[in-house]
C-alpha cells in the first residue's frame, strides 16, 4: 500500500514543483547588462586642452547672462571705474572676447542708448541662444520739490518731474544711486525706494528645458514583474498535463498486485 501511494503522489509532487517554478523569476533576469569597453586612443594632453579651449571661446554677437547682483559694467578694461551694476538675470552682448575683461555692449540705440564697456570674463555666463528680451528697459519718474521758495507770481515752479531710463545701481558707501539716461545725458540720481523691476526668466527656463524628464509614476507593476511568454506557455502546458498524468497514475491496474495464480 505504501509503495502504491509513493508511486501515485511522487509524480504529482514533481509536477507541482515544476508548476510553481514557472512563476519564479530567473536569478539573472534583472541583472544589469555589462558591455565590453573599447579602448580609446590616447590623445596628447595639449591637444585635448586646445580643442576644449577652442570650443568654449564665445564669438562676437553671443549673449552672456548676469547671474549675480554685484557685476559691474566698467568704462575701461582695468576694473577701476565701474559705471553701474548690471541688472541681475539680464544680458550683455559680446563685442570682443578677452581672458580678463570682455568688451560688451548693453542696451540699444532704438529703445535707449547703447553703451560699450567691459565686464569681468569670470562673471559672465555665456549662452547658446538669443534671448528675446536681453536688456532691461525701465523708465521711472523723479519729482523734485523746491522748499521754502518765495512765490512771487504764478509762473514760479516749486516742483518738477523728470523721466529717466534706468541702467543699474551704483553704490557709494551705504547709499544706493541709479545710473540713468535723461534725454541725451547720463548721470546718477538717488534711487527711489519704490524702484523694482521684473526679473528675466529666460535663463531659468533654459535650464529647466535641459533637465531630463522624470519617468511617469504608476501604481501598476512593471513589466519586469510580469511572466514572460515562455513561462506562460509552460504554465498552460502543465495545466493541461496535470489531469492526464493524474489519470494515468491513479488508474487501477488490470490485475491485483498481490493476486496469486490458481494452482489448478
pLDDT for 180-205, tens place per residue? 999 999 999 999 999 999 999 999 99
Last residue of a domain, one of 88, 107, 135: 135
Where would I find the beta strands (DSSP E) of the chain?
63-65, 72-74, 82-85, 91-96, 101-106, 115-120, 125-126, 138-145, 159-172, 175-182, 185-190
Q: Do residue 96 and residue 150 come from a single domain?
A: no
Q: State the average pLDDT over residues 35-62.
A: 56
| Residue 65 resides in a domain | yes
Confidence of residue 234 (pLDDT cuts 50, 70, 90): confident
Asked if residue 38 belongs to a domain, the reply is: no
Question: pLDDT tens digits, residue range 160-170?
Answer: 888 999 999 99
Same domain, 103 and 155: no
pLDDT (tens digit per residue) in 78-137: 999 999 999 999 999 999 999 999 999 999 999 899 999 999 999 999 999 999 999 999
In a domain, 261, yes or no: no
Domain end, chosen from 158, 175, 190, is at 190
Half-sphere exposure in the Cβ direction for 75 (13 Å, CA): 4
Does 151 lie in the same domain as 117?
no
What is the tally of structural domains in the chain?
A: 2
C-beta of residue 74 within 8 angstroms of C-beta of residue 117? yes
Write out the residue range of the structural domain in which residue 165 sits. 138-190
The answer to whether residue 212 sits within a structural domain is no
Last residue of a domain, one of 122, 155, 190: 190
Q: What crossing angle do the helices spanning 2-21 and 229-250 adopt, rounded to 10°?
A: 170
Amino acid at each position: 500500500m505504501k509503495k502504491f501511494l509513493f508511486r501515485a503522489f511522487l509524480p504529482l509532487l514533481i509536477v507541482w514543483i515544476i508548476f510553481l517554478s514557472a512563476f519564479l523569476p530567473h536569478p539573472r533576469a534583472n541583472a544589469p547588462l555589462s558591455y565590453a569597453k573599447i579602448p580609446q586612443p590616447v590623445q596628447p594632453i595639449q591637444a585635448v586642452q586646445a580643442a576644449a579651449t577652442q570650443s568654449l571661446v564665445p564669438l562676437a554677437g553671443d549673449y552672456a547672462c548676469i547671474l549675480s547682483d554685484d557685476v559691474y559694467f566698467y568704462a575701461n578694461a582695468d576694473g577701476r571705474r565701474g559705471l553701474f551694476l548690471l541688472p541681475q538675470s539680464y544680458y550683455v552682448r559680446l563685442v570682443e572676447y578677452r581672458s580678463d575683461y570682455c568688451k560688451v555692449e548693453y542696451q540699444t540705440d532704438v529703445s535707449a542708448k547703447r553703451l560699450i564697456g567691459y565686464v569681468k570674463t569670470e562673471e559672465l555666463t555665456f549662452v547658446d541662444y538669443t534671448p528675446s528680451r536681453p536688456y532691461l528697459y525701465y523708465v521711472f519718474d523723479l519729482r523734485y520739490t523746491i522748499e521754502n521758495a518765495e512765490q512771487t507770481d504764478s509762473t514760479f515752479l516749486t516742483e518738477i518731474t523728470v523721466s529717466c531710463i534706468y541702467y543699474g545701481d551704483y553704490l557709494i558707501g551705504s547709499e544706493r544711486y541709479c545710473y540713468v539716461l535723461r534725454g541725451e545725458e547720463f548721470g546718477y540720481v538717488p534711487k527711489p525706494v519704490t524702484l523694482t523691476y521684473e526679473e528675466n526668466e529666460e535663463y531659468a527656463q533654459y535650464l529647466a528645458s535641459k533637465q531630463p524628464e522624470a519617468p511617469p509614476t504608476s501604481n501598476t507593476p512593471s513589466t519586469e514583474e510580469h511572466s514572460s511568454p515562455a513561462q506562460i506557455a509552460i504554465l498552460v502546458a502543465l495545466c493541461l498535463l496535470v489531469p492526464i498524468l493524474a489519470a494515468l497514475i491513479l488508474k487501477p491496474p488490470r490485475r491485483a498486485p498481490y493476486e496469486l495464480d490458481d494452482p489448478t
